[in-house]
Amino acid sequence: MILYLMRHANAGTIRENPVLDAKRGLIKEGKEQCMLMARVLGALKAPIDVIISSPLKRAMQTAQLVGTELGYEAKVEISPALGLNESYADFQKLLAKYADREGILVVGHNPSLFQFLGRLITGNGGAAIRMRKASIARVDMNHHPPRLQLLMDPRSARAIYASVAKSSRPKASRK
């Protein structure tokens, strides 16, 4: 299985009230990040069989926007195992439930998401991996320990797209 872990896109300023914070949606920049990162997944020909999101609004919006851009037609599944400060054991149960799938995209939050990633690839959580908003990590789960194959954030994706958009060949003169 190929596992794609994605941190939710930009949802603006954190609210102190946890109930209000859970309802915080994406801002314009966050929606743009979703489109960009969906194009990255599309360019990688990511085999996404299922998309699973945290129950918080910003994660669900991220999952839905990315899924729509990828042409994913099934319903985005919601799992409390991807919520704020969830346990690694619950995350492992979630992965076991979908072990027969070729590709899974999970959308969650820091700090749990980067802790899950660190534990997956080291076995003990010894890796400190920074995942900015809307970052995507690709992990090949068919190896032991699983292998991190890609970690990309919107800033890197924009830089790659900008360099590809520029032609590397000099323009021919027109006479």
What DSSP letter does each residue of 75-97 carry, written as one string?
A: PPEE-GGGSTT--HHHHHHHHHH
How far is the first Cα of the chain from the last one, in angstroms, to the nearest whole number?
55
pLDDT of residue 166: 65
* Tens digits of residue pLDDT in 65-102: 999 999 999 999 999 999 988 999 999 999 999 999 99
- Here the tokens at position 49 are 């069989």
Span 153-165, mean pLDDT?
Answer: 88
- Here the tokens at position 134 are 């809307």
Asked if the bond preceding 111 is cis, omega within 30° of 0, the reply is yes
CB atoms within 10 A of CB 152: 18
Among all chains, which residue has been given the structure tokens 């590397």? 168
CA distances from 120 to 61, 102, 106, 134 (A): 26, 17, 14, 20
CA dist., res. 166 & res. 141, Å (int):
36
Task: Give this prediction's pTM.
Answer: 0.90
Phi-psi region of 116 (alpha: psi -120 to 50; beta: other; left: phi over 0): alpha
Query: Positive or negative CA dihedral for 86, 92, 96, 102?
Result: positive
CATH topology of domain 2-162: Rossmann fold (3.40.50)
Span 39-51, mean pLDDT?
Answer: 95
Sorted by where each begins, the domain ranges of the chain are 2-162
